[in-house]
Amino acid sequence: MRPKLGIISLTCCEGCEFAILDLGKRFLKLHKYFDLIDFHLIEDKEGPKKFDLVFVEGSQVTSEDIETLKRIRKKTKFLYALGVCATEGGVQKIKNYHQEVVDPKFVYKKPQKLSNTKVLPLENYVKIDGKVLGCPIDGEDFLRVCYEILAKNYSVNLERPVCYECQIRKYKCLLSEDKPCLGSASVGGCKAICLSGGLPCLACRGVLRDLNFENFKKAILDRVPEERFWQLLETYGVKDRVGKSKVQNPNVK
Amino acid sequence: MKKLTIKINHVDKIEGHAGFVGDIINGDVAKAKFEVQIGIRLFERILLGRNFEDAAIITARVCGVCPVVHYLTALKAIEDALGIKLKKEIIILRKLLMLGQIIQSHSLHTYFMSLGDFFGLKNNLDLAKKFPKWTNDALAVRDFGNELIFAIGRRSIHPVALRVGGFRREPDIKKLQKLSQEIDEIITCAKNLSLFFSKLKYPKFFRQTEFIALTQPKEYAIYDGQLISSGGLRVAARNFEKMIYESQVDEVNRIKGKDNQTFMAGALARININHKKLNSSAKSILKKSKITLPSYNTFYNIFAQTVEIVHCLEEAKKLFAGCLTLFAVAKKNRQDNFLEKFNTKYKIKAGKGFAQIEAPRGTLYHTYQIDKNGKITWANIITPTAIFINNLEEDLKIYLPNLKKLSSAERERKIKMLIRAYDPCITCSVH
């Protein structure tokens, strides 16, 4: 029996699913080794009773989201959080930090029956076995996890700052141009893709575990006011990860 | 009283989660409701207090299938607020980026999400087995769109290289040149695909409605234009909100016109309004198909998308020719950021900006107000799906009685097919 692979999305932009679809032929090849299920973008049948590996993208905003997540957890052997919405909360988590202004009544004239819970990483609701990082994810990381599970050979993600990947590619250092780049504090693996486009890093892969937060903060505050510093950390919802010693490691158990 | 309730819990193969509930009582449709099943993310509010440059970065995350359109519309609206005029070269590159987006999104929707419906293929991967050549062609076309986005935006999902006033980094010129060499081959693939789609058997359907799209005097409007409707509406972006009213159903602020009319937006609407400005091959495919325009059969939206793919590729070819000067500058100028001199310099000031763009699924509208420090103080986004969702329900009300005699599975298939023909994007509509 081929292992059953599911990809499920909660509330999000579904960009990570497209990152997977964009693998094109390499994605189709995955069908040789897996039964692909509940990938709602291309297939239209209900999922089976048991899964071997499920990727969950998005964050829980509606009560159905939480139910789906808990139901899937019971059905599957491995559950991976896919993309920053699942691992940290993503852009929709910004509202957590500004409850006073981010109220549905400002977007909807008469907000009726809208579920608007705080956005939290999925690991706050269920046990997760690993993470695929990024906003959006790199399709390669997804493939790697799939084949590792298949081979029962679980690698450990090395934590290296974005700066490392940026500098080996000889991109211009934005910090040296006085732009508030979070690369020095952020988990790499992204091939510094934002930096290739000149966009300062916004820590979509989370912050380093052994970060010297005070030094990092000082370096950014030399460039922008403190309010902006915290705003940047809020972008993908990593603000509550910094300044604490224990940050979840994106490792497979 | 004979009551028939039709319930579809999950309409698959659309972007986002949605269902459908319909009631037919004594042969009359009492209810036809398209149910959105996705949480609210409150984009318009999370932007408040943030820097104006964040608008594009954050709103791109509204949608993973069409991030480029949100990215560009946000930039355009902010540039409008700051009174920035872009240079010709920058606009060419942005238009190319936009074409890449439409090619990518349409080829995914027409081939990988809709085609299976016509052959009763449940699993779209069976398509690859049944039509290996078409699948390869469709993949090639989609890859081309993706690579075009990647070359200019430096990432195909959620691009990074653009900023207010121009570009942060120049495009990958080598890649653009390579793409400009491959484009004839891709146009052939797209033409064949479109001809193939023109011969499919589309279900019969007719309901007169009002089409809405941007228009331009000399070109097929995508990146810019004025909004008009087949009902005689003509409105500048800054007055758009005054011409419509919003009502909340589920999580979506749906749009209707002032006369309570519903609007159809997207490829079919654009073709109906702007078909005279299509490029030559696209035009000839449309002519060969013998469809009478304007077409009121929503199912033809799928075919219209394939025509647009051809048009966009032809347009890209034209624009590549316009890029030659840029390529020459790039070659002469070995330094990294040769594009910098094409960027427009600006000063931050308070203001309100509006912008519209023809996204793959229809007209997208963004508006922002910023204060003198460049902080966003107001934002509103109206997406294509929010515009046409009422129209979709009206269509379903007309369509349902035709399906009474079918088996429930067949009925469900047809309903899903009509919904899919619209190419609704639920993640966009709930933002």
> Inter-chain contact B39–A15, Cβ cutoff 8 Å?
no
Q: Output the six-digit token pair for A187.
A: 């988990």
Of B44, B66, B64, B65, give the one whose Cα is nearest residue B55: B44
Written as one letter, the residue type at B259 is D
* Distance (Å, whole) CA A198 – CA A193: 9
Checking if the pLDDT of A253 tops 90, the result is: no
Q: How many CB pairs under 8 A join A and B?
A: 174
Mutating which of B11, B13, B40, B113 best tests the A interface, going by the most A Cβ atoms within 10 A? B40
* Distance (Å, whole) CA A87 – CA B421: 34
Crossing angle between the packed helical segments B408-422 and B384-399, to the nearest 10 degrees: 150
CB–CB of B34/B392 below 8 Å? yes
- Sequence-distant (6+) residues with CB within 8 A of A168 are none
pLDDT in tens, B257-312: 988 999 999 999 999 999 999 999 999 999 999 999 999 999 999 999 999 999 99
Chain B residue closest in CA terms to A13? B63
User: A113: left (phi > 0), else alpha (psi -120 to 50), else beta?
Assistant: left
Buried b (16+ CB within 10 A) or exposed e, B167-180: bbbbbbbeebbebb
Host H or E run for residue A75? helix A63-75
> Inter-chain contact A196–B113, Cβ cutoff 8 Å?
no
Q: What residues in chain B have per-residue pLDDT under 50? A: none
CB–CB of B420/B13 below 8 Å? yes
Mutating which of B44, B131, B157, B162 best tests the A interface, going by the most A Cβ atoms within 10 A? B157
Q: Which long-range contacts (CB under 8 A, 24 or more apart) does A223-232 make?
A: A223/A175, A223/A178, A223/A179, A223/A180, A224/A180, A228/A180, A228/B51, A229/A180, A231/B49, A231/B50, A231/B51, A231/B54, A232/A180, A232/A182, A232/A200, A232/A202, A232/A203
* Distance (Å, whole) CA B414 – CA B26: 21
**B contacts of A116 (beta carbons < 8 Å):** 39-40, 42
CA distance B236 to chain A (A): 23
Cβ atoms within 10 Å of B408's Cβ, excluding its own: 11
CA angle A196-A199-A201, nearest 5°? 95
**B contacts of A45 (beta carbons < 8 Å):** 122-123
> Inter-chain contact A13–B64, Cβ cutoff 8 Å?
yes
The pLDDT of residue B334: 64
CA distance A182 to chain B (A): 15
Q: What is the DSSP letter of B335?
A: S
Buried b (16+ CB within 10 A) or exposed e, A28-42: eebeeebebbbbbbb
Which SS3 state, helix, strand or coil, does residue B43 take? helix
The pLDDT of residue A186: 96
Chain A residue closest in CA terms to B112? A42
Binning pLDDT at 50, 70 and 90, where does residue A252 land?
A: very low
> Inter-chain contact A193–B123, Cβ cutoff 8 Å?
no
Interface predicted TM-score (ipTM) of this complex, two decimals: 0.91
> Inter-chain contact B251–A40, Cβ cutoff 8 Å?
no
Q: Which long-range contacts (CB under 8 A, 24 or more apart) does B230-235 make?
A: B230/B269, B230/B272, B230/B273, B230/B294, B231/B257, B231/B261, B233/B257
**A contacts of B43 (beta carbons < 8 Å):** 91
CA distance A4 to chain B (A): 16
Mutating which of A10, A16, A18 best tests the B interface, going by the most B Cβ atoms within 10 A? A18
> Inter-chain contact B64–A17, Cβ cutoff 8 Å?
yes
pLDDT in tens, B146-191: 999 999 999 999 999 999 999 999 899 889 999 999 999 999 999 9
